[in-house]
Amino acid sequence: MATGTETAAEAAGHGGGHAVGMPQLDFSTWPHQIFWLLVTLVVIYLVLTRLALPRIGGVLAERSGIITKDIAIADDLKQKALKAERAYNDALAQARADAARIVAEARAAIQADLDAATARADAQIMAKAAESEGRISEIRAGALDAVTEVAQDTAHEIVAALGGKADAGSITAAVAARLKE
Amino acid sequence: MATEGEGSGFAIHPMDQFVIKPLFGGEHVHWYTISNVTLWMALAVLCIVLLLVVGTAKRSIIPSRVQSVAELVYGFIYNMVEEVTGHDGVKYFPYVMTLFLFILFSNLLGLLPMSFATTSHVAVTVVLALMVFVGVTVLGFMRKGVGFLGMFWVSSAPLALRPILALIEVISYFVRPVSHSIRLAGNILAGHAVIKVIAGFATLVVASPFVVGAVGAIYGLELLVAVVQAYVFTILTCVYLRDAVGDAHH
């Protein structure tokens, strides 16, 4: 381009590549640089607009969509969990109340049974006691008779052994008299 | 510029790295010549394709490392365009993304040893800046008509000052592509030249430990500069774009 810089360009072109002055100000290379710069920029621009940017933008949009959806699902599940917890607590309280009621009922029923059984047992005991009383007095009466009889017999035998002859009537009267004492 | 050592073994040629050389022989650099410019621009394209196309090929909902980097870059630039230019500016997002990725990868690739930094050339950055400048101007007149000139007329200033401010605004408007392009090329050029100059002192035995440390430190700084300059160029593009597509801010 400029004739003044021609020598610099030639020097740059030769082997060894020693710079004469600033290669930046060697205007003869400007068309070359500008041409390849424009080619490069167009290639980058096409690669970006055709391939890279839509793809990355799509991935980012897709990801944020998935995240939003996941957060919504998580929120939903949290609400469900809260509801389930509430239902569980309700059921627990209900069960506790039921259990208390059943225990009270059972206790009352047992108490009633117990009272009835106690009453019945008392009655039986009373009856048994009365019966036993009768038997005892009977036995006592029987025992008294037996004693009298044994005493008469013994007295009779003793009198007979002593060589006496005693009549049953006087012995009986005598024993009875002794027993009365 | 090339500092020739005084026969003492110094070989400091900080500008040699910027020389444009045809790759397949030839004396002259024609506009169609395949040179190191072509090679390193093609490598930038390759890196962009690897990151943004190959890296996202699976379109995973749970991204791989490369895919998350691609998504990070996408989100970063997208949010920048949306925040700075407003909702109307989003349709120019692919254009801004193209600029950002090209500058970022050219800067980073330029930091590889033996590489060629395409963005250190004013020819490249001037074209990038002019594309923004012309694009914004054309877009502004297309969208706002003559009203686009209203941004030079500062209605919040006192009436007497407005013509002077308008003149300053117009001048600053036309200086934009200059600062926009020189900032990028200058940063990259200066950093690379400084590394080369310091590295040239490595032949001096006494200085070599210092040189190793200094080159390492400056290399780290240059990595930062490479990213920051790509960011600065992009956000300035967005700021200029806001004048054309956004609401009146002046």
| A19-65 pLDDT per residue, tens | 677 888 888 889 999 999 999 999 999 999 999 999 999 999 999 99
CA distances to B187, B188, B193, B239, B242 from B182, rounded to whole Å, are: 8, 10, 15, 17, 22
User: What is the tens place of the pLDDT at every residue in B3-25?
Assistant: 444 445 567 788 888 988 898 88
Question: How many residue pairs from chains A and B have C-beta atoms closer than 8 A?
Answer: 155
How far CA B1 is from CA of A157, B101, B122, B196, B197, in Å, comes to 175, 31, 17, 12, 11
In sequence order, what are the beta bridge partners of B4?
Answer: B11
Task: Measure the CA–CA gap between B21 and A14, rounded to whole angstroms.
Answer: 8
Which of B72 and A165 is assigned the larger pLDDT?
A: B72
> What SS3 state is found at A21?
coil
Please list, in sequence order, all residues whose beta carbon lies within 8 angstroms of the beta carbon of residue A127, skipping any fewer than 6 positions away: none
Q: What's the CA gap between A111 and A130, in Å, rounded?
A: 28
* C-alpha span between B109 and B47 (Å, rounded): 9
- Nearest chain A residue to B73 by CA: give it: A56
Band the pLDDT of A153: cuts 50, 70, 90. Answer: confident
| DSSP codes of every residue in A89-113 | HHHHHHHHHHHHHHHHHHHHHHHHH
Q: What pLDDT shows up at residue B9?
A: 57
- Which range has highest mean pLDDT (A50-59, A141-150, B240-249)? A50-59
Give the tens place of pLDDT for each residue, B161-201: 888 999 999 999 999 999 999 999 999 999 999 999 998 88
Q: How far apart are CA A146 and CA A138, in angstroms?
A: 12
Cβ separation of A19 and B31 shorter than 8 Å?
Answer: no
Average pLDDT, integer, range A83-88: 96
- Highest mean pLDDT, choosing among A106-110, A137-141, B87-91: A106-110
Cβ–Cβ below 8 Å for A48 and B59: no
State the Cα–Cα distance between residues B152 and A80, nearest whole angstrom.
Answer: 62
The chain A residue lying nearest B29, using CA atoms, is A29
Kindly report the number of other CB atoms within 10 A of residue B15's CB atom: 22
**pLDDT band at residue A4 under the 50/70/90 scheme:** very low
**B12: part of which helix (H) or strand (E)?**
strand B11-12
In chain A, the residue whose alpha carbon lies closest to the alpha carbon of B101 is A44
Whether the per-residue pLDDT at B119 is higher than 60: the answer is yes
Task: Enumerate the domain spans of chain A.
Answer: 3-142
Phi-psi region of B88 (alpha: psi -120 to 50; beta: other; left: phi over 0): alpha
Comparing alpha-carbon positions, the chain A residue that sits nearest to B70 is A56
DSSP letter for each residue of B126-148: HHHHHHHHHHHHHHHHHHHGGGG
pLDDT band at A17 (very low <50, low <70, confident <90, very high): low
Residue B158 predicted with pLDDT over 60: yes
| Structure token digits, residue B205 | 């035995």
For the residues A101-120, what does the mean pLDDT come to?
Answer: 96
Is a pLDDT exceeding 60 seen at residue A7?
no
Contact B89, B81 (CB under 8 A): yes
Query: What's the pLDDT at A14?
Result: 41
The model's confidence at residue B245, banded by pLDDT at 50, 70 and 90, is: confident
Chain A partners of B60 at a C-beta cutoff of 8 Å? 59
Asked if B22's CB is within 8 angstroms of A56's CB, the reply is: no
Chain B nearest CA to A72, separation (Å): 18
State how far the Cα of A1 lies from the Cα of A4, in Å rounded to an integer. Answer: 9
State the residue for tokens 């400084």: B194
Mean pLDDT, chain B, as a whole number?
89
Among B2, B29, B30, beta carbon nearest to A18: B2
Nearest by CB to residue A48, choosing from B18, B21, B94, is B94
In the predicted structure, residue B248 carries a pLDDT above the cut 70: no
| Spatial contact of B238 and B81, defined as CB atoms under 8 Å apart | yes
- Tokens linked to B168: 């300053």
Q: What is the mean pLDDT of residues B123-151?
A: 92
| Cβ within 8 Å, pair A23-B15 | yes
Q: Tell me if A53 and B48 make a contact (CB, 8 A cut-off).
A: no
Identify the bridge partners of residue B11 per DSSP, sorted by sequence position: B4
Backbone angles phi, psi at A35, to 5 degrees: -60, -50
What is the pLDDT at residue B5? 42
Check pLDDT > 60 for residue A179: yes
Residue window 35-64, chain B: list those with CB within 8 Å of chain A: 35, 37-38, 41-42, 44-45, 48-49, 52-53, 56, 59-61, 63
* Whether B13 contacts chain A with CB within 8 A: yes
Is the pLDDT reported for residue A8 higher than 80? no
**Which pLDDT score, from 0 to 100, does residue A164 have?**
74
Q: CA geometry: angle at B112 spanning B235 and B13, to 5°?
A: 105
Cβ–Cβ gap B52/A32 under 8 Å? no
Residues of B in contact with A19 (CB under 8 A): 1-2, 13, 15-16, 18-19
Q: Report the pLDDT value the prediction gives residue B247, as an integer from 0 to 100.
A: 66
Is the Cβ pair A53, B71 closer than 8 Å?
no
| C-alpha–C-alpha distance, residues A56 and A155, integer Å | 139
CB contact (8 A) between residue B21 and residue A23: no
Binary contact (A37, B56; C-beta < 8 A): no
Averaged pLDDT for residues B92-98: 95
Q: What is the share, in percent, of chain A residues with pLDDT greater than 90? A: 61
Residue of A nearest to B18 (CA): A23
Q: Do A24 and B18 touch (CB under 8 A)?
A: yes
Shortest CB distance from A41 goes to which of B49, B98, B123? Answer: B98
Interface of B with A in 187-206 (CB under 8 A): 189
Residue B128 in this model has a pLDDT that exceeds 60: yes
CB B203 within 8 A of CB B7: no
Calculate ∠ Cα A167-A168-A170, nearest 5°: 75
DSSP B27: S
